[in-house]
């Protein structure tokens, strides 16, 4: 019996080697990866630039110092993040929930600074922001929250893509200090915000003096063809939590602030022992540079569009919707489809199912079009067999 705590329902497969978009299990079987460790392995496996940067940092002997001292790699990583986000200040942490926890604290502090004793944050139905007490309270899923009550107070929930609901809250709740939104909900089923809605939401934030928090932990960092989804909508938020793909697999998170949120945190307001250490920062620098130099954002759009178009062409009965943006792909079926994960693994394809009935693909950004065709070639027959079997049953 394993001593690993039983918090995940795991597939009986262990990957032990990787190269590009390919993985090998302990028995030597080869798999095509269309999930990237849930949007983490941006550069796939064994990317030379990332490997070299990490090895050099390890060889320097200084993989960790402390935030008590200057960390030149952290300064260089923050400069790059400021450049791509258009924002000003970066707080480094180690995960998505920590980035969101920091964002929630910024929103509360911002509220207090404006004389609101009990600041509230507007959050969305079906959102996922993490599993700490504050972030699970912000999350719009009873499954994630059940058993952990009392929840953290101060969240007001509205449906995604419903601007009127936000205006309603604005009209009667004087405690709101921020809106927090995943512009494309990942765990919730690849639910894409309309760009018009995001712009409307930003206008309400500007009218009310609220912070706009764009949780781009899953959808950000090049996956949709721009660095961030808010850039498709053409405005700048105040707070952008990041993690997952930021260092190509090295654990790192970042809470990036600017505009109305600039300067809200002062020395002593927040901290992290590991956050921004030299090893993680060398991962950030190498990953962001590779995305830019290798034009991986353009590739992400081609690959995502190709996969969606090819699956659409197959016109499989039982597919209710095919959606997403760039290499963030959701295929909604008319029935629960968790079993598809193992069936695809048997066919040598790694993907995932979320929200019970949405097949999710988040391929590494290094995937090329031939490999994307191969994803479709492996997925199509498994999908058809799955839907036919269930239809006959």
Ligand X SMILES: Cc1ncc(COP(=O)(O)O)c(C=O)c1O
The footprint of ligand X (CB under 6 A) covers 95-97, 100, 128-130, 182, 186-187, 215, 217-218, 243
CA distance 336 to 351: 15
Please state the closest distance from residue 350 (CB atom) to ligand X, in A: 17
Q: Which is nearer to ligand X, 247 or 376 (CB)?
A: 247
Kindly report each contact of residues 309-318 with a partner whose C-beta sits within 8 Å and lies 24 or more positions away, as own/partner.
Answer: 310/373, 310/376, 310/380, 311/376, 311/379, 311/380, 311/383, 314/380, 314/383, 314/384, 316/380, 316/383, 316/384, 316/387, 317/387, 317/391, 318/387, 318/390, 318/391
Residue 202, strand partner residues: none
Please state the closest distance from residue 173 (CB atom) to ligand X, in A: 24
Q: At what angle do helices 278-293 and 48-60 cross, to 10 degrees?
A: 160
Q: Which is nearer to ligand X, 182 or 371 (CB)?
A: 182
Please state the closest distance from residue 123 (CB atom) to ligand X, in A: 12
Q: Which is nearer to ligand X, 229 or 345 (CB)?
A: 229
Contacts (Cβ under 8 Å, ≥6 apart) of 165: 158, 159
CB-nearest residue to ligand X: 96
Please state the closest distance from residue 223 (CB atom) to ligand X, in A: 12
Please state the closest distance from residue 12 (CB atom) to ligand X, in A: 23
Q: Which is nearer to ligand X, 271 or 381 (CB)?
A: 271
Q: Which is nearer to ligand X, 223 or 378 (CB)?
A: 223
* Token pair 């239809």 in the structure block, residue: 391
**What burial class does residue 245 get, using C-beta atoms within 10 Å of its C-beta: 0-12 exposed, 13-18 middle, 19+ buried?**
buried
Q: Which residues participate in catalysis according to the annotation? A: 128, 215, 244
């Amino acid at each position: 019996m394993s001593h690993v705590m039983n918090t995940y329902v795991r597939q009986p497969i262990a990957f032990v080697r990787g190269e590009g978009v390919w993985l090998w299990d302990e028995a030597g079987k080869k798999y095509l990866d269309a999930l990237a460790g849930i949007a983490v392995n941006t550069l796939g496996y064994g990317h030379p630039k990332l490997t070299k940067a990490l090895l050099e940092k390890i060889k320097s002997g200084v993989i960790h110092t402390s935030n008590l001292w200057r960390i030149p790699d952290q300064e260089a990583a923050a400069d790059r993040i400021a450049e791509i986000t258009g924002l000003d200040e970066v707080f480094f942490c180690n995960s998505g929930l920590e980035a969101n926890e920091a964002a929630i604290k910024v929103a509360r502090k911002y509220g207090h600074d404006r004389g609101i004793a009990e600041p509230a944050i507007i959050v969305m139905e079906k959102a996922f922001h993490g599993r700490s007490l504050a972030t699970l309270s912000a999350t719009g899923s009873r499954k994630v929250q059940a058993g952990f009550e009392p929840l953290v107070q101060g969240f007001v929930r509205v449906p995604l893509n419903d601007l009127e609901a936000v205006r309603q809250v604005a009209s009667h709740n004087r405690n709101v200090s921020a809106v927090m939104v995943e512009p494309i909900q990942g765990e919730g089923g690849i639910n894409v915000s309309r760009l018009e809605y995001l712009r409307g939401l930003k206008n309400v934030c500007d009218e009310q003096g609220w912070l706009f928090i764009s949780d781009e932990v899953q959808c950000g960092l090049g996956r949709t063809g721009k660095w961030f989804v808010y850039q498709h909508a053409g405005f700048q938020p105040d707070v952008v939590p990041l993690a997952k793909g930021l260092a190509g697999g090295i654990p790192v998170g970042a809470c990036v602030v600017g505009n109305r949120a600039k300067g809200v945190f002062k020395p002593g307001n927040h901290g992290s022992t590991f956050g921004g250490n030299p090893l993680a920062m060398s991962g950030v620098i190498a990953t962001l540079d590779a995305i830019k130099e290798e034009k991986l954002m353009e590739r992400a759009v081609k690959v995502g569009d190709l996969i969606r178009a090819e699956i659409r062409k197959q016109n499989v009965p039982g597919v209710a919707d095919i959606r997403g943006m760039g290499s963030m792909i959701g295929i909604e079926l008319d029935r629960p489809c968790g079993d598809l994960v193992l069936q695809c693994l048997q066919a040598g394809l790694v993907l995932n199912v979320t929200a019970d009935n949405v097949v999710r693909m988040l391929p590494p950004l290094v995937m090329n079009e031939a490999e994307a065709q191969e994803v479709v070639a492996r997925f199509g027959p498994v999908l058809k067999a799955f839907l036919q079997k269930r239809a006959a049953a």
